[in-house]
Structures are given as structure tokens and as C-alpha cells.
Structure 1
Amino acid sequence: MLAPIVFHELVGGTSKKQNWKGLGIAFIVIAIICLFIAAAILLTNTQQIHIDNKLLSLTEQDIFNIKVPKSWNGTWISNSYFSYVDTNDSIWIYNCDILEKEMLFRGDFIQQESVKYGIVSPSTKYVLIPVKKEKISSYYTNYQYDIYEKSRMIASIALVNETKRTVSAIVYSHSDHLFAFIDNFDIYVYNITRKSSYRMTFDGNRATVHNGLVEWIYEYEIFNRKTLLFWSPTDRYLAFIKINLTDVPKNYYLKYDFTLEHDDLYSIPYPKYNDPIPALNVFIFNTRTKKTIRVPQSNDSAKSNKSDMYIYHIIWYCDTCFAVVYGNRVQNTSTIQLYEIAYDKISFKSRYIEETSRGYLLSRFLKPFFSSLGPYAYIIRFDPVINGKAGQKAFPRVVRIHFNRSYPQIDVKSPEDINADEILHVDNLDRVYFTGFEPLNSLERQLYRWTHTDAVSEIECLSCNESCGYINAQFSLGKGNYYILECLGPSIPYSVLYNRMERLVLIDDNEPFREWISNRLMPSIEYFTVPLDEKNSIVGNGMIILPPNYNPNKTIASYPVIMTINDRLYDQRVTKKYVLPLDDYIQVIEDNLTVVMFDAHGSIGQDENYLKSNSQDWLERQYQDYIKVAQHLKWNEKKFNETLNDTRFGLRARGSAAVVALKLLEGQDEYICAFLQSPVYDLAHYYTTFSEHIIGLNGGMKSSIQLDVQNKSIAFVHGTADEIVHFKHSATLAKVLTDKQVNFDFKVYPDAKHNFEQNPVIYNDFLHYQRHFFQGCLGGRINKERKIVSPEEYD
């Protein structure tokens, strides 16, 4: 039989005493629990403070002192060697055949800060050391140079009457003893063995004739390179482009300096919409006979200075054979013409014409890479693909041109599963190396090799094992037996040496920068897409920079948004490439806001229709795109868990993008303010290579901007010496806003050029002014409760 269970009183005594004792024990228990809670909160806060204090904040000095590291800071000088500069500014050479390095020139051997810009000869026998910097231009820097053989100085370049002259550019030949240099827009060929130079041209002048050198933005937009000198394979010939600016209209500027009272006005050649453009001609210099020959164009328009033709590329494909790629002024037709030189006479051999009915041709697609196996060349062109859902679209493919015909034409195309971005090399087996991306991964770039025969045509990814989202490659000179694979993102850039068969060695992992950035408090970056049509067949890519430790599932703020508008055509800002916009990062972290970038119509990475717009609808398509982005972020993007649906949107634009920003302010209330840097008010008064892309040549484009922007905030800044966007644009905008009785803020930087970041004092003031403006028009964040959103809802 079980014994009865007896429950004893926990608190003995009378009932009155038991009540008091029970209450006392309850208070003690509650007090202990409160102590535990307080301790937990204290420990949590202490831990959080410890975590936050471990990371250093970005500073404004970082903007000027820290740059995104290059994945590779070297230069190929031959098929097996490249030179590079270490952190002590010493120049090294790397032998890829034996995977060994050797110091060529110590950085502290001479007390010059420019040693790191030294130029090494092809067999590493000589090094050209810049010893004095005298002028900095947008596309070149003038230096005085000394020639060293190992550590022994043997000569100075451009020595005239025992005085050193400055040199704007140097282009080495394929041999040690010969190189070309440019001084005051004239070209010289220097022979190290003889320690003497030969002057090729005599008409160079900054205002009228540019021989082999780019000076202005519209020139660079044509060639996409800074020097226009091209050596033949055996150095027998040197080709160069002459830019004649005689008939180009001028923009005038005033220097704000009382010491220059009688010399304070100057001008630069600046072709605007429908103005005469520079006359471009190709010349060939024979280094043996010292004779210079002009290359005839198809219509021989080079006889006059009134040319309506552009020149994009000059390519040597044998020692006496070369190609010139021309483009018409509308930039919708391009011609690849082949020439041959014999006894100082140039004869025309063949011609291939590429045309488009959509907008304009991309000049970088038109650079031909010639085959060593026959009369073939490879380019990139948009090729139509039938898509059942969205109709016909055109995507970039690598194609082969067969020149050994009466009418050269395309006979081979790369497979459709990879979109091409840039051809890098064609090897001796006719395999084409190019960067590209899968159709659904336009933010990425990988390195591919296309192999094609009569029986097979296949593409192999050479970089997919690197776990890298954005790849570039630089092949060694000549045969291209080696290449540097550059991982440009999304993580910190690094570089690896490859041969054609395998990965050889890690070249640079940028460890010092990795250590620096790992100790800094950084914002969060998220990617998103926006449907731009009702069928969701057109999708634009965007990127948003959010404050650190952003989490949509926490009770956080509705952050104000700064929408940045791109001022460049055929560009792609939203990619997996590593970026470090420190000025944006500081503004995001310190002002508790977000910055958004979006690739609207006119961006690469999509089909041809997305890239190109007719002149009539470019502005309207940009306008509609940015309206849809704001609406999408406010109401439809689940990824941000309604973080942005109560926020205020502002605009930031530079140059030509200001035209879009001003039109957006006129429209709906998606955007309430705009900050404009060096704004373009009228595209017809912007430089021709850009404005004629948009406006076309068949008629003017009257601005549809009415500037009906009451109750909106506008601020703009401009430098009076801006050679890209004339100060007259901002002055005219201020005048029109005043006439319409619209309030605005306007800040002027006397004698400042287009790129404020080149002057730390001006740039620092500009950043403070911009931050103050957005703090006023966008205000602070709005705190609100969030619902929990699982990743599945937006993945």
C-alpha cells in the first residue's frame, strides 16, 4: 500500500506571517530577475558598442587619399615580360616564362616622385624616367624625361640648347632603341643608339592642329584613347592621326585674375550641334626614308578641312598592311578599309561596310582583330534573335568578316548563348578571346574563348572557376602567350597570371587595401530590377547604397533617396564591378539616406533597342524610366520591405543628365528637388559627338522643358573655366528661372574646370554644399514599424 504524500508548507508560521514572508520572497525574486534583465541589456549594449567601435568611420580625407586599387598595375612590354611598380615606387620586371621578378629601377635612386610613371623598353634594357612634371591636362601630363640603362643615365629626351623640354606622350616601338614622343602637338621619333630625335611634323598647335594627341572631350569621345600613334610590327612605319581644328568654332572664357588684366580672355575650339567638326586624316611615316604619306579616304574628303567623317581605329595586320575604320558623322555607318604600302605609295585593297537602322554604331565594337590564317577579321555587331515572348531583339555577337571576296561579308557568327562585350585577342589557331555575359546575367562579365571550325562552333568560359563576377583580361604583346586575368568585382580587385592552358600564379591581391577597408564602417549595397513595360519584357537594372547594417526586418527608418542620373551614353554603371564612391558612402552613413543608380535606356548590357533611341524619344524614354524607378521603389519592390514607400526622392545630375533632371522636376511629385553639377541647359549647345547622337542631323531639337518647377528645390554649381560644359549653360538656366520667378541656389567657382575633384579645396566645398542642400530638401528619416519579410518573397 502506498504511503500518503504529505505537502509541507514552504513558509511556516501563522497565516499573517506567511503572507509577509511570501511577499518578501516575491520582491526578492522580482529584484533578481530585474537585475538579470539589466545585466543582459548592459552586456548587449556593451557588446554592440564594442562591435561599432571596432570599425572606423570614413573621413573626408579618405576621399582624396584612398582610391580603388587596380587589380593589376603592370604594363605588358613584350610577349613574356611585363613591368610594374611596387608600393615604394620601384620599377620591376616580371618574366612569365620562369615566373620570376627582378628590380629594374629603385624608387629612391633619384629624388623624384614621378619615378612610378617610368616606361620600360621591350627587352628591359632601357627605362625612361620622368624627372619633372610641368603641366597636367585632362588626357596627358607633361614631363621631362631622362633615359637610363639600368641605373646609369645615358641621355635626356628633347634636349634643345642644353635645356630639357617637356614631353606630352611617349609610345615605344617593338624594339629597344626606337620610340615616338609628342612635344607641343608635334611628333618626334627618338633613336636611343644615336641619342637624337627626328621631327616628323611642324604644324602642331593646341588651338589649330593636334598631331597624335587628344586634348578635348569631343576628341576623346571619337577615339576612346589618349594617344593616336601606331607602330607597324617591325617598326618600319609609324601611323598617326592629324586633327585639324582650323574651321571649328570657338568657346570663349574669361580668367578672373587682376594680374592678367590685358590677357584675361582666351578661347578653345568647341564644335556644337551642326557646327563644322575637326578634319581627321591618317598619315604614315617611313622611319627609313623619313617620308610622310597621307592615307587617301574613300571619298578623298581629306583634301579639305571640311570633313564630315570620323576615324575610330588604325590596325596593322602585317608590316605593310593596315586597316582604317571610318565612321560617318551621323555615326550609323562605318567602313573598314584595308590598305597596303609599297615604295612609299599607299594603295586601297578592300572595304567592308557596317550599317545600322537603329541609332548609332558603337565604335569599340568595330575594332577589327585580324586572323593569321587568312583574309579574315573579327568584330562585334548586334545580331537579331527571335524571342517568342518579346518579339525580335538584337544582341551583340562576335562575327568574322571574309575579305577575300569581291564584296567582303560576314561568314561566321558566335553562338547565341553568350553576349559579347569586347574582343581582347585572336590567337594563331584563330580562337577568339572576348569578354561577355550570359543573357540573364548582364551585370557580370566573364572571359570566353570561341573556337570554330567547319564542324563545330563552341564557347568556353575561361574565368568561371575564379568565383568572380566581373572579369577583364590583358594579353601579352605579339603572340599573346600569357594574359593577366583581372577580377574587378564584386569583391576587392585582384589579378592572376594565366597562359593559354592554365592558371599560373596570383599576381596581386591588394592585401594592404583589404586590411584598410576591413576596419572601416561601410554601407550596404543591394541590386534590384524595374519592369519598364507592361509585358515585363524590358527590365532595367538598379543599385542602391543603404546605411550600414541595413535590415528590412528591423524597425528602421524610411530613408530619403538621392537618385543619380548618368551623364554618359552607352555606359553601364550597375554591374558586379567593385566600386568605392567614398563621397556617396560618407553622405549615406552620416546623413542617413540612400543613393540609387539606375541604367536607363541608352545603357549597354541589354539588347540593341534598349541601348539605342531615336533622337525624338531619348529624353522621353529617360523621363519615363526614372519615374518608373521611383514608383517601383516606393510601392513594388518587396526586397526593401516598404522601407522606401514614405520617403522623399531627390535628383542628382551632372552635365547632359541635367536636361533629364529638370524635366523630371516638371512632372509628377516623385521627385521634389534636384542638385545639378555643371548642368547642360540646351543640348544643341553641347559638344557635337554627344549632342548629335541625341538630336540627329535632320533637324534641331527644341527643348520641351518648360521649367514649371514651382514648389520644388533646385541648386546648381558650375566652374567658369569648364571646357566640357560651358558656363553659359548655368548662366542661361539662372536667367530663365529668375524670369519665371522660381527660387533656386546657384554657386559659382571662378576659374574652376569640369572635374572639381582635381582641386581638393573646391571639391571639399562642393561636397559640403551638396550635403547641406539635400539635408534641407529631403530632411531626415521617418521611423516606422516593419513587418517581417522572408527572403523567399523577393528571391
Structure 2
Amino acid sequence: MKVSEQRAVGASCPNSPQTAQKFLEGDRDSNRSVSSALRSGASADGSTGVIKLWADEKMSSEVSEEGKKADDAAADGRRTYSLTDYLKNTFRVKSYSLQWISADDAAADGRRTYSLTDYLKNTFRVKSYSLQWISDHEYLYRQENKILLFNAENGNSSVFLENTTFEAFGNSVSDYSVSPDGLFILLESNYVKQWRHSYTASYDIYDLNKRQLITEEKIPNNTQWITWSSKGHKLAYVWKNDIYVKIEPNLPSHRITWTGEENVIFNGITDWVYEEEIFSAYSALWWSPNSTFLAYAQFNDTNVPLIEYSFYSDESLQYPKTVKIPYPKAGTVNPTVKFFVVNIDTLISPTNSTSIQIAAPASVITGDHYLCGVTWATQERIALQWLRRIQNYSVLAICDYDKSNLGWNCSLAHEHTEMSTTGWVGRFRPAEPHFTSNGNSFYKIISNEEGYKHICHFRIDDRDCTFITEGAWEVIGIEALTGDYLYYISNEHKGRPGGRNLYKIQLNDNTKVECLSCELNPERCQYYSASFSKEAKYYQLRCSGPGLPLYTLHSIRNVKEQKVLEDNSALEKMLQDIQMPSKKLDFIILNETKFWYQMILPPHFDKFKKYPLLLEVYAGPCSQKADAIFRLNWATYLASTENIIVASFDGRGSGYQGDKIMHAINRRLGTFEVEDQIEAARQFSKMGFVDSKRIAIWGWSYGGYVTSMVLGSGSGVFKCGIAVAPVSRWDYYDSVYTERYMGLPTPEDNLDHYRNSTVMSRAENFKQVEYLLIHGTADDNVHFQQSAQISKALVDAGVDFQAMWYTDEDHGIASSTAHQHIYTHMSHFIKQCFSVP
């Protein structure tokens, strides 16, 4: 056997995803001794290596019995060790002589690398397990065009809906939803995407008892939103911007609103800016728990300016279409909002309904404001969150139904104000309240005095609250609330901001906290999310990394898994034949503050070699790029096949580490978050394994903005960069997002910084770098205007740069052909920049 082909006994190849894409805790692992490296098969730099062996024999010796007397030596027939033995080295001591195989010898690993084609064609698919809880112990799961019903209590399963039903639609059913009483199922087809969350579709109702579709009083095509009631089987839907309700699936619909108008009045659905920036959803309908009431919002965009762009469509179209969207930019006219509640039990005829308006609190209604949250506390108590246009002041108003006058009373004594003196309220908006069963108190995530997001307990008649969690870490979200416990996700474990674990805390003794996921599978799983059954008796844990994703079922009675739902074992076997990169998660200290980064390292990484480095950046407020999530993406290809290190860094402005870091860029976007990416690259180049002459940066959206600002800084650190769909000037972007962090672009507020934070003002410095600018022409979010202005400024400055546009593509550039083209084009650009063959 050739030396290069022989492996040490006990050494392991990186043939499992847990080993191959292992999670390194910084350089602390590089201090392992040779002996421990031999046992694990890992090289001293933290990568898995092949070990050359020169000897595999052991020399044995016999030891004479202790305590023998000198005059008994004759009894021992063995001879003594002589001078000749010493001089001739008769007895040779043999040793292990080893040599680590470096990246130059990676050919010894016969497996292929993860290719660009693997990424573009999604050769290796990560499986998930998406379930729908329909009770406290039952859930549905769609498998091969049939829907299965699982009982978590006894482990039994059955077919809930046969695949023949789906076949009747030509297998075009895109989604389904079962009524709370289990009598009907809503089948969605003809899905047509609009913006990020919005779409239109057709819907059919299937009677599960009769096992047939309902053909009477069908729901109209191109319905914009539809939802079952909380109890029973009522339906509310929006069509042509108006709201309709079905009491029974086979009876005529009741029309609730009559004012809907395209691009003007939106009833029960959000307009563009509310969908994108506030609710992150298309729906603006909220059923009460007993389904007696339906609450809805109405958005009025009458005075909102329109963004217009051409949509070229098929080449046979002689004149392009013009798309028009009400889109408020920073400092322009915003939509107005009204909130209503209708009593469904009082509907007399399909054309008769009465909606009761609930006005915003006096402290916000006098100026521009937003509705930013709706939560039903009880059957007849609702909580509304309102936010001033300058988003450092919000009010949670609790309103009760008054049977005597059939109206809603919002007592001033039940208002709860949340303010920020250092930035904005919440992460992106105020957090949702979670009410106790009687509706008299609630739990909410807010910033404590130290600026960390923690859970506070409010009583509705007391404006002060009591924190039940504390520490230099953050609660990410409240997952479930029962009579005895509250379940939440946080990043407390081991002080890693990029981790996520599920905890439960005892409500009558807040010192009793238990992590339910920390020790389940600590090497594979450090980033969890959860989905609880209706009354939180069971829950699904979704492990996203750093190993392969794992989905398990649990009971609140036992921390250990009750059932493995998906373990991606098929993918694990496939990846054994691939040279996968490793992932390093660590931190650097700048100005006495800990900032985290991650690196995707090439297979057979050798810390004594020099590698090109690509800095992948987002860096927007409350962002996080250094995390414990497993990904198969473009970075996997670049590291595996092209031997490029792909790094990301969370500097000032990033989230989940306290308001001091997150609010550092308040009212000054384009400053510290840009400077910190440059400094991170400098720090990486000092680590010894980064080629300082081959450092690049790339990003999308906000990341495209930061990429452009970095390249335009004239730092001399970066050789090249790619900006996809970048912001270039903040008053080109929408009002809700921009003003949250920048205030208003007026002389009285923050106009100077709006003017000083543009990419165009840095055009001259682009002569020092290679720049690729990319944008979709149908980007409804970050408009093509943003890149057009960068291009114009660079041309005016005489800068030679590359540009690529994608016709009729939106912000995601996600159509199959465009997706393949953009990543192929970017790959060529990066390889040319780094002189990679």
C-alpha cells in the first residue's frame, strides 16, 4: 500500500455531514496535541487529514521480577544487556513517524467537490418536515400528494385525504387548510405570486364527510386572501380589495366592505409597505377565538405616490406594460389606516353588515402613525399596537366589547407605552403580547435597562412590568404559554448569539428555568425553532444546524424525542462522497466589544497556506450572518471547489446582542456597519491564512449597499466586489424601513446624513477596484432606479465597471434561468478577480 493511501487506525474521514461540515469553535481547537489528533484523525489546524505511517509494530520487553536478591541471579537464565548491545544498538527503539497531508495533497482524497452545478440544480436536497397541528395531539403532513393524519398520543397514522382528490386538479394543488372542526378542507390552486407575501389563487372546498367538492356558491377566482374562522367552519376572504364572509361553505357569501379599489383602498389585506415592512404578511384579518367577531384593517393609499416601471413580458408585446404601485418613500405621504370589528352573528343578509371602528390612541392619532399589531386576548377583548411615524414610541391599547352599546371601549388605564431613547422600538416592530387565559395579564419581549431583549410580565391595569428573564443575551421569541409554564427561544446557551435553543420557565417561580434542547444533540444541533400543538401538550423541534437539519416530535412530559420525523439520513449518505467545507464560528474583539464572525473553510484547510477570501455581507440593522445554521449554497461551492474562504461578520448594527450594538447605527446608516466590515477584513488578513491581495466582498439588497459603500471607501483592502439590487440613496427607499433608522429627510431632522450616505458620492474611489453591479428591472422593493443612479455616477466619473440587469426579475432574481445565470456570472467574476483557473 502506498504511504499516501494508508490511514491511521482509528482516524476518520470527513465522511459524515457532522464531521465534514463540522462546527469549529475558533482557533481553540487548533491547540490539540498530536496524540489527540491521532485519536480523532484530525490535523492540528482543525481539518481532517490523511496520516502517513512508517511503522505499525510495537517492541515488547520482559521485565524481571522486582525484589530478586543478587545471589539468586543465577536462577534467571537470561543474559544481561552488554556494552556491545549498546555500541551496536542491538535493540532498536522504533517510533511512529508521521506527516500531515496538506491541501497540495488533497488529490489523495478521491471524492469530488461540491460543484456550482450541484448548487444550481439543487443536487443535494435538504429535506424538511412541515406539519399542521389541528388539535392538541394531532397533526397533518402532506406526503406524495396525499395528506396523512398523525396522532402524537398513540403514534398511529392514517390517510386523511387521498391522492385521487389532488389528481382531480391535475396535481396543481399548491396548499391546503382544514377547518377547525375537521369537517371541510380548503384546496388552493392557480397560485400567482404578487409581491413578497401576496398572491392570488383559486379555492375549492372539499366536504370530508361526503368526500366530494362543494359546487354551490363557489369562491371567486383570483381571491387575494382566505382564512377559516378560529372555531367551526366559517370563512373570510378578500376579493377585489373587499371582504366577504361565508357562514356555511355552500351558502352565499356576506359582503362586509364596499369601498375596495385597486391601488387605493385595501380592506382586509395590506398595501405594499404594510405587507413588506410591518406585518410581513398579506392578511389584515383577525378572527376572535370563538369566531363571533372578525377584525380587519383598512389601508387608504389615495395620496401615496406611485412607483412606475416597465414590464417587458413576451417579446411579441410591442409596447411594455407599466406596473404602478403605491409606494411611500422616505419623507413622502404615507398610507392611512383604520381598524374595524364586525359581529358575524349579527349578519342578517348577504348585503347587510355593520363594522365598528376602533380609533388609535390620542397619543399617536394626532400625527402620522401605523397599526403594527393585533392580538385577541379573550373572546371579547382585543389588543392593538400603534406606532408613531418616528418609531421610538408605541402604544398597546386594550379594548373590551361593550354589550350595552355594541361598541368597543379602550380604557386609558389599559394603555401600555413602549419607548426607546437610543433607537427604535423592538427589533423591526414592537413584539407581540402573549395573554394569559383570563386576559388580565400578558408577557411581552421588550428591552431591559441594560438594552437586552427579555420577557416582561404586564398586568393590564398596571403600566409597570416585571422581567422574568435576565442576562447578557436575548430572548428571540415566545413560543407557547400555558397555566404553569412559558416556552421561549433564546441565544443564552454558551454565550453564542448565533445559536437558538428552546427553554421553559415556571411562571410561579422564575428561577426555575430549563433548556429543553441544549443537550439533546449538542454537536449536531445548536440552532432550534419549535412548533407547539394547540394547547402546548406536544411540540415539534426543528434543528437547523450546524449538522444536517433534524426534525423531532416531543411531549412536554419528556424532554427526549418521542419520534424522529426527518433526519436527512439519505442526504448524509450522499454527502459522504463529497469533499465538504468546514465551518468556523468565532469572535474578534474591537474596542473591548466582542463581534462574531463565521468562515466557510475549504476541505483539507491548511492554516499555513494563503487563501483568497470573499466577505459575504448583509449588515443591515438587526441582521445576523454568523450563526449555527447548516447551508448548502454558493459559499459551499466556492469553498469546496474553488478553495475560497467565504466569511461573514456581524459588526455594529447587527442584532441579538443588545441594543448597544444594534442601535449604534441609529440615524447614521452607511457609517459604522460599513467601517466594521473593512476592519473585519483587515483582521482576517492578519490570521496568516488569508491572501491580503485577494480579498473581495459581495452582498444583496442592504448587503449590496454596504458592498458598494465599502468599495467606494478607498480603503485599499478589497480588490473587487459584487453588489446585487443595492440601495444607493436612502430617500429612494420606503418610508417605514428607512425612517425607522434614519428619521425624516428634512432640514429639521436628518437631511444631512441622508445626503452624506449615498453610494454616488463615492464614485471616484471605484477606480481603485473591480465592481460588478446587478439588478432586476422589475424590482418592486429596491427599485432599478437605485442601480441606475450608481451606474450614471460611475460613468460620469469615468469608472470602468461591469453591470448586468435581469429583465422582468424582481428583488429575488429567482426564476430558474435567472437564478442559474446570476450565480454563474458572479462565479466567473470572482474567479477572474482571484485569478482562479
Which of the five TM-score ranges fits, normalised by the shorter chain?
0.7 to 0.9
User: Is the contact between residue 310 and residue 327 of structure 1 (CA under 8 Å) also seen in structure 2?
Assistant: yes
Q: Which residue of 2 aligns with 1:702?
A: 755
CA–CA separation in structure 2 for the residues paired with 1:137 and 1:225: 10
Q: Which residue of 1 aligns with 2:678?
A: 627
Does 2:387 match 1:327? yes
What do the CA deviations read for 1:203-239 (whole angstroms, capped 9, x no partner)?
A: 3344122233345355322113342221111100111
CA–CA separation in structure 1 for the residues paired with 2:769 and 2:217: 57
Q: Which residue of 2 aligns with 1:659?
A: 705
User: Is the contact between residue 373 and residue 428 of structure 1 (CA under 8 Å) also seen in structure 2?
Assistant: no
CA–CA separation in structure 1 for the residues paired with 2:185 and 2:830: 50
Q: How far apart are residue 157 of structure 1 and its match?
A: 8.4
Give the match's secondary structure for 2:756. Answer: coil
Relative to the length of structure 2, the TM-score reads 0.79
Q: Which residue of 2 aligns with 1:669?
A: 716
For 2:698, give the aligned amino acid: R
User: Is the contact between residue 444 and residue 470 of structure 1 (CA under 8 Å) also seen in structure 2?
Assistant: yes
CA–CA separation in structure 1 for the residues paired with 2:191 and 2:743: 42
Aligned positions, number? 706
- 1:372 aligned to 425, 429, 437, which one? 437
Provide closer, same or farther for how the CA distance between residues 509 and 576 of structure 1 changes in structure 2, counting only shifts above 3 A: same
Please, what is the CA RMSD of the aligned residues?
Answer: 2.9
Give the match's secondary structure for 1:315. Answer: strand
User: Is the contact between residue 701 and residue 725 of structure 2 (CA under 8 Å) also seen in structure 1?
Assistant: yes
For 2:229, give the aligned amino acid: S
Does 2:140 match 1:83? yes
Provide closer, same or farther for how the CA distance between residues 66 and 321 of structure 1 changes in structure 2, counting only shifts above 3 A: farther
1:237-252 to 2 correspondences below 5 Å: 237-252=293-308
- 1:713 aligned to 770, 783, 805, which one? 770
Provide closer, same or farther for how the CA distance between residues 184 and 456 of structure 1 changes in structure 2, counting only shifts above 3 A: closer
CA–CA separation in structure 2 for the residues paired with 1:48 and 1:562: 22
Does 2:422 match 1:358? yes
- 1:281 aligned to 335, 338, 344, which one? 338
For 2:358, give the aligned amino acid: V
Does 2:641 match 1:576? no
Q: How far apart are residue 172 of structure 1 and its match?
A: 1.7
Provide closer, same or farther for how the CA distance between residues 428 and 157 of structure 1 changes in structure 2, counting only shifts above 3 A: farther
For 2:682, give the aligned amino acid: Q
CA–CA separation in structure 2 for the residues paired with 1:116 and 1:602: 38
Relative to the length of structure 1, the TM-score reads 0.83
Q: Which residue of 2 aligns with 1:36?
A: none
Q: Which residue of 1 aligns with 2:9?
A: none
Q: Which range moves more in the overlay, 542-551 or 419-428?
A: 542-551
User: Which consecutive residues of structure 1, in runs of 5 or more, have no partner in the other structure?
Assistant: 1-39, 385-392, 782-795
User: Is the contact between residue 189 and residue 202 of structure 2 (CA under 8 Å) also seen in structure 1?
Assistant: yes
- 1:270 aligned to 314, 327, 334, which one? 327
Q: How far apart are residue 356 of structure 1 and its match?
A: 0.8
CA–CA separation in structure 2 for the residues paired with 1:198 and 1:629: 59
User: Is the contact between residue 649 and residue 670 of structure 1 (CA under 8 Å) also seen in structure 2?
Assistant: yes
For 2:480, give the aligned amino acid: H
CA–CA separation in structure 1 for the residues paired with 2:670 and 2:195: 32
What do the CA deviations read for 1:379-416 (whole angstroms, capped 9, x no partner)?
A: 112213xxxxxxxx4222211112224xx211343243
Q: Which residue of 1 aligns with 2:228?
A: 172
User: Is the contact between residue 720 and residue 752 of structure 1 (CA under 8 Å) also seen in structure 2?
Assistant: yes
Q: Which range moves more in the overlay, 350-359 or 192-201?
A: 192-201
Q: How far apart are residue 548 of structure 1 and its match?
A: 2.2
What do the CA deviations read for 1:53-96 (whole angstroms, capped 9, x no partner)?
A: 4x57445264354686464301122333221112x121112223
Q: How far apart are residue 584 of structure 1 and its match?
A: 2.6
Q: Which residue of 2 aligns with 1:398?
A: 455
Q: How far apart are residue 609 of structure 1 and its match?
A: 0.7
- 1:690 aligned to 737, 761, 777, which one? 737
Q: Percent identity?
A: 23
CA–CA separation in structure 1 for the residues paired with 2:606 and 2:554: 40
Q: How far apart are residue 365 of structure 1 and its match?
A: 5.3
- 2:357 aligned to 294, 302, 313, which one? 294
What do the CA deviations read for 1:688-743 (whole angstroms, capped 9, x no partner)?
A: 12221332121212135432222311110112211111111111111111111111
Give the match's secondary structure for 1:130. Answer: strand
User: Is the contact between residue 83 and residue 120 of structure 1 (CA under 8 Å) also seen in structure 2?
Assistant: no
CA–CA separation in structure 1 for the residues paired with 2:490 and 2:737: 26
For 1:326, give the aligned amino acid: W
Q: Which residue of 2 aligns with 1:648?
A: 694
Q: How far apart are residue 650 of structure 1 and its match?
A: 1.1
Q: Which residue of 2 aligns with 1:595?
A: 646
CA–CA separation in structure 2 for the residues paired with 1:330 and 1:157: 49
Provide closer, same or farther for how the CA distance between residues 543 and 713 of structure 1 changes in structure 2, counting only shifts above 3 A: same
Q: Which residue of 2 aligns with 1:115?
A: 173
User: Is the contact between residue 619 and residue 706 of structure 2 (CA under 8 Å) also seen in structure 1?
Assistant: no
Give the match's secondary structure for 2:677. Answer: helix
CA–CA separation in structure 1 for the residues paired with 2:430 and 2:567: 31
CA–CA separation in structure 1 for the residues paired with 2:779 and 2:701: 11
Q: Which residue of 1 aligns with 2:410?
A: 348
Q: Which residue of 2 aligns with 1:423?
A: 478
Q: Which range moves more in the overlay, 127-136 or 227-236?
A: 127-136
What do the CA deviations read for 1:133-166 (whole angstroms, capped 9, x no partner)?
A: 3555431343222222337223158737xxx513
Provide closer, same or farther for how the CA distance between residues 185 and 607 of structure 1 changes in structure 2, counting only shifts above 3 A: same
Q: Which residue of 1 aligns with 2:823?
A: 767
CA–CA separation in structure 1 for the residues paired with 2:386 and 2:453: 20
User: Is the contact between residue 147 and residue 162 of structure 2 (CA under 8 Å) also seen in structure 1?
Assistant: yes
CA–CA separation in structure 1 for the residues paired with 2:606 and 2:430: 42
- 1:463 aligned to 517, 524, 534, which one? 517
CA–CA separation in structure 2 for the residues paired with 1:694 and 1:364: 12
Provide closer, same or farther for how the CA distance between residues 645 and 142 of structure 1 changes in structure 2, counting only shifts above 3 A: same
CA–CA separation in structure 1 for the residues paired with 2:714 and 2:601: 26
Provide closer, same or farther for how the CA distance between residues 768 and 311 of structure 1 changes in structure 2, counting only shifts above 3 A: same
What do the CA deviations read for 1:627-648 (whole angstroms, capped 9, x no partner)?
A: 211111111x3xxxx1104441
User: Is the contact between residue 284 and residue 296 of structure 2 (CA under 8 Å) also seen in structure 1?
Assistant: yes
Provide closer, same or farther for how the CA distance between residues 411 and 615 of structure 1 changes in structure 2, counting only shifts above 3 A: closer
Q: Which residue of 1 aligns with 2:398?
A: 338
Bigger RCO (CA 8 Å, 6+ sep):
2
- 2:491 aligned to 437, 451, 470, which one? 437
Q: Which residue of 2 aligns with 1:155?
A: 214
Provide closer, same or farther for how the CA distance between residues 457 and 50 of structure 1 changes in structure 2, counting only shifts above 3 A: closer
